[in-house]
Amino acid sequence: MDDNMEIDTGSNAHTDSHNHIQDVQSTSLDAPATQVPSTRDNFRDIQVKVHIRRPERDSWVYLGRGIVTQEVIGHSSRVVVRTVSTGKVMATFSESSELQAEKRGNFVVIGCVEGTRVVSWSLNALNNSETLRLLASIELACYRCKQAIQDPRLHTKARRKVERIIKEDRRRRHRRRKDQESMIDAFARQNIGNEPAQPEPGPPIAP
Protein backbone atom coordinates (compact mmCIF):
# COMPACT_ATOMS: atom_id res chain seq x y z
CA MET A 1 0.00 0.00 0.00
CA ASP A 2 2.84 2.37 0.89
CA ASP A 3 4.59 1.61 -2.40
CA ASN A 4 1.45 2.50 -4.28
CA MET A 5 1.18 5.78 -2.42
CA GLU A 6 4.78 6.69 -3.24
CA ILE A 7 4.17 5.97 -6.92
CA ASP A 8 0.99 8.06 -6.91
CA THR A 9 2.82 10.96 -5.24
CA GLY A 10 5.59 10.85 -7.82
CA SER A 11 3.05 10.80 -10.63
CA ASN A 12 1.28 13.87 -9.21
CA ALA A 13 4.56 15.73 -8.83
CA HIS A 14 5.46 14.95 -12.42
CA THR A 15 2.04 16.11 -13.59
CA ASP A 16 2.32 19.36 -11.62
CA SER A 17 5.79 19.98 -13.04
CA HIS A 18 4.55 19.31 -16.57
CA ASN A 19 1.61 21.66 -16.08
CA HIS A 20 3.95 24.35 -14.76
CA ILE A 21 6.17 24.02 -17.84
CA GLN A 22 3.11 24.34 -20.08
CA ASP A 23 2.03 27.48 -18.20
CA VAL A 24 5.50 29.04 -18.58
CA GLN A 25 5.58 28.18 -22.28
CA SER A 26 2.12 29.65 -22.76
CA THR A 27 3.14 32.84 -20.93
CA SER A 28 6.38 33.15 -22.89
CA LEU A 29 4.49 32.76 -26.16
CA ASP A 30 2.00 35.46 -25.22
CA ALA A 31 4.60 37.97 -23.95
CA PRO A 32 6.65 38.79 -27.09
CA ALA A 33 3.54 39.30 -29.22
CA THR A 34 3.89 43.05 -28.65
CA GLN A 35 7.28 43.07 -30.41
CA VAL A 36 6.44 41.22 -33.61
CA PRO A 37 4.38 43.11 -36.22
CA SER A 38 1.29 41.24 -37.32
CA THR A 39 -1.19 42.09 -40.04
CA ARG A 40 -4.71 42.86 -38.87
CA ASP A 41 -6.93 39.88 -39.60
CA ASN A 42 -9.92 42.08 -40.46
CA PHE A 43 -7.95 44.50 -42.65
CA ARG A 44 -8.35 43.89 -46.35
CA ASP A 45 -5.33 44.89 -48.45
CA ILE A 46 -5.80 47.93 -50.67
CA GLN A 47 -4.31 48.12 -54.15
CA VAL A 48 -3.03 51.54 -55.15
CA LYS A 49 -0.97 53.37 -57.75
CA VAL A 50 1.88 55.21 -56.07
CA HIS A 51 3.30 58.61 -57.01
CA ILE A 52 5.87 60.70 -55.13
CA ARG A 53 6.77 64.39 -55.24
CA ARG A 54 10.16 65.01 -53.71
CA PRO A 55 11.19 68.22 -51.91
CA GLU A 56 11.57 71.33 -54.09
CA ARG A 57 10.01 69.49 -57.05
CA ASP A 58 6.74 70.45 -58.68
CA SER A 59 6.01 67.30 -60.69
CA TRP A 60 4.91 63.85 -59.57
CA VAL A 61 6.94 60.71 -60.33
CA TYR A 62 5.15 57.39 -60.83
CA LEU A 63 6.69 54.58 -58.75
CA GLY A 64 4.37 51.72 -59.73
CA ARG A 65 1.58 49.67 -58.20
CA GLY A 66 1.54 48.97 -54.49
CA ILE A 67 -0.30 47.03 -51.81
CA VAL A 68 -1.31 48.80 -48.60
CA THR A 69 -1.43 46.74 -45.41
CA GLN A 70 -1.96 47.64 -41.76
CA GLU A 71 0.38 46.06 -39.23
CA VAL A 72 -0.28 45.98 -35.48
CA ILE A 73 2.57 46.34 -32.98
CA GLY A 74 1.32 46.11 -29.42
CA HIS A 75 -1.31 48.82 -28.95
CA SER A 76 -0.25 50.84 -31.99
CA SER A 77 -0.36 50.21 -35.71
CA ARG A 78 1.30 51.35 -38.91
CA VAL A 79 0.34 51.49 -42.56
CA VAL A 80 2.88 49.99 -44.96
CA VAL A 81 2.97 50.39 -48.74
CA ARG A 82 4.84 47.62 -50.59
CA THR A 83 5.48 47.04 -54.27
CA VAL A 84 3.27 44.42 -55.89
CA SER A 85 6.13 42.75 -57.77
CA THR A 86 8.83 42.39 -55.08
CA GLY A 87 7.15 43.25 -51.77
CA LYS A 88 9.75 45.95 -51.10
CA VAL A 89 8.64 48.64 -48.66
CA MET A 90 7.96 51.92 -50.47
CA ALA A 91 6.58 53.95 -47.57
CA THR A 92 5.57 53.54 -43.93
CA PHE A 93 3.15 55.77 -42.02
CA SER A 94 2.93 55.47 -38.25
CA GLU A 95 2.44 57.44 -35.04
CA SER A 96 5.98 58.83 -35.35
CA SER A 97 5.22 60.32 -38.80
CA GLU A 98 4.58 64.05 -39.05
CA LEU A 99 2.06 64.20 -41.86
CA GLN A 100 -1.21 65.50 -43.16
CA ALA A 101 -3.46 63.31 -45.30
CA GLU A 102 -6.38 64.48 -47.45
CA LYS A 103 -8.72 62.97 -50.01
CA ARG A 104 -8.81 64.28 -53.57
CA GLY A 105 -11.18 62.24 -55.70
CA ASN A 106 -9.89 58.66 -55.63
CA PHE A 107 -6.49 59.87 -54.46
CA VAL A 108 -5.14 60.16 -50.92
CA VAL A 109 -2.42 62.83 -50.88
CA ILE A 110 -0.05 62.61 -47.91
CA GLY A 111 2.35 65.42 -47.06
CA CYS A 112 5.19 64.13 -44.84
CA VAL A 113 7.24 66.76 -43.03
CA GLU A 114 10.96 66.00 -42.71
CA GLY A 115 12.51 68.95 -40.91
CA THR A 116 11.64 71.93 -43.10
CA ARG A 117 11.10 69.83 -46.24
CA VAL A 118 7.95 68.11 -47.44
CA VAL A 119 7.79 64.76 -49.25
CA SER A 120 4.40 64.17 -50.83
CA TRP A 121 2.87 60.78 -51.58
CA SER A 122 -0.15 60.14 -53.78
CA LEU A 123 -2.00 56.84 -53.39
CA ASN A 124 -4.63 56.22 -56.07
CA ALA A 125 -7.19 53.63 -54.95
CA LEU A 126 -9.65 51.75 -57.16
CA ASN A 127 -12.84 53.50 -56.04
CA ASN A 128 -14.29 55.97 -53.54
CA SER A 129 -14.96 53.31 -50.90
CA GLU A 130 -11.35 52.08 -50.97
CA THR A 131 -10.11 55.67 -50.87
CA LEU A 132 -12.12 56.46 -47.74
CA ARG A 133 -10.93 53.27 -46.05
CA LEU A 134 -7.33 54.09 -46.96
CA LEU A 135 -7.61 57.62 -45.55
CA ALA A 136 -9.19 56.36 -42.32
CA SER A 137 -6.47 53.71 -41.86
CA ILE A 138 -3.67 56.27 -42.27
CA GLU A 139 -5.27 58.79 -39.92
CA LEU A 140 -5.91 56.10 -37.29
CA ALA A 141 -2.36 54.71 -37.47
CA CYS A 142 -0.75 58.17 -37.29
CA TYR A 143 -2.91 59.67 -34.54
CA ARG A 144 -0.80 60.31 -31.45
CA CYS A 145 -3.18 59.08 -28.77
CA LYS A 146 -0.77 59.28 -25.81
CA GLN A 147 0.33 62.81 -26.65
CA ALA A 148 -3.25 63.96 -27.15
CA ILE A 149 -4.21 62.62 -23.70
CA GLN A 150 -1.09 63.53 -21.73
CA ASP A 151 -0.38 66.94 -23.29
CA PRO A 152 -3.24 68.22 -25.49
CA ARG A 153 -1.58 71.62 -25.86
CA LEU A 154 1.63 70.12 -27.26
CA HIS A 155 -0.42 67.83 -29.52
CA THR A 156 -2.31 70.79 -31.00
CA LYS A 157 0.91 72.77 -31.41
CA ALA A 158 2.59 69.90 -33.28
CA ARG A 159 -0.37 69.50 -35.66
CA ARG A 160 -0.44 73.21 -36.42
CA LYS A 161 3.29 73.15 -37.14
CA VAL A 162 2.84 70.37 -39.68
CA GLU A 163 -0.08 72.22 -41.30
CA ARG A 164 1.97 75.44 -41.49
CA ILE A 165 5.01 73.79 -43.11
CA ILE A 166 2.83 72.01 -45.69
CA LYS A 167 0.95 75.23 -46.46
CA GLU A 168 4.24 77.14 -46.96
CA ASP A 169 5.53 74.39 -49.26
CA ARG A 170 2.32 74.59 -51.33
CA ARG A 171 2.66 78.37 -51.53
CA ARG A 172 6.26 78.09 -52.78
CA ARG A 173 5.25 75.56 -55.44
CA HIS A 174 2.45 77.81 -56.68
CA ARG A 175 4.84 80.76 -56.80
CA ARG A 176 7.41 78.76 -58.80
CA ARG A 177 4.72 77.60 -61.22
CA LYS A 178 3.46 81.16 -61.67
CA ASP A 179 6.98 82.48 -62.27
CA GLN A 180 7.62 79.73 -64.79
CA GLU A 181 4.44 80.52 -66.68
CA SER A 182 5.35 84.23 -66.71
CA MET A 183 8.79 83.42 -68.16
CA ILE A 184 7.22 81.26 -70.87
CA ASP A 185 4.78 84.03 -71.80
CA ALA A 186 7.56 86.63 -71.90
CA PHE A 187 9.73 84.37 -74.04
CA ALA A 188 6.84 83.74 -76.44
CA ARG A 189 6.13 87.48 -76.79
CA GLN A 190 9.83 88.16 -77.43
CA ASN A 191 9.93 85.57 -80.21
CA ILE A 192 6.82 87.04 -81.80
CA GLY A 193 8.37 90.52 -81.71
CA ASN A 194 11.61 89.32 -83.33
CA GLU A 195 9.91 87.58 -86.25
CA PRO A 196 10.58 89.33 -89.61
CA ALA A 197 7.66 91.34 -90.88
CA GLN A 198 5.75 89.72 -93.71
CA PRO A 199 5.71 91.87 -96.90
CA GLU A 200 2.44 93.54 -97.72
CA PRO A 201 0.76 91.92 -100.71
CA GLY A 202 1.20 94.16 -103.82
CA PRO A 203 -0.93 94.53 -106.86
CA PRO A 204 -1.06 91.54 -109.17
CA ILE A 205 1.68 91.46 -111.74
CA ALA A 206 0.43 91.77 -115.29
CA PRO A 207 1.23 88.81 -117.54
HEC string of 14-55 equals HHHHHHHHHHHHHHHHHHHHHCCCEECCCCCCEEEEEEEECC
- Write the burial class of residue 147 (CB in 10 Å: 0-12 exposed, 13-18 middle, 19+ buried): middle
Report the relative pairing of strands 76-83 and 99-104 from DSSP bridges: unpaired
Which residues of the chain are modeled with pLDDT < 70?
Answer: 1-43, 146-148, 192-207
- Residue 178's pLDDT is 85
CB burial of residue 186 (10 Å; 0-12, 13-18, 19+)? exposed
Please name every residue paired with 83 in a beta bridge, in sequence order, or none if there are none: 66
Nearest alpha carbon to residue 74 among 107, 36, 123, 26: 36
CA pair distance 136, 143, nearest whole angstrom: 11
The confidence score (pLDDT) of residue 72 equals 86
**Comparing C-alpha atoms, which of 83, 111, 84 is closest to residue 98?**
111
The pLDDT, as a whole number, for residue 43 is 66
pLDDT of residue 1: 43
Interatomic CA distance for residues 67 and 99, integer angstroms: 20
* Per-residue confidence (pLDDT) for residue 125, from 0 to 100: 95
CA atoms within 13 A on the CB side of 92: 9
Radius of gyration in angstroms for the set of CA atoms belonging to the chain, rounded to a whole number = 32
Please give the Cα distance from 123 to 88 (Å, whole number): 16
Amino acid at 150: Q
Q: What is the pLDDT of residue 201?
A: 52
pLDDT tens-place string over residues 10-37: 444 444 444 443 443 444 344 444 444 5
The pLDDT, as a whole number, for residue 16 is: 47
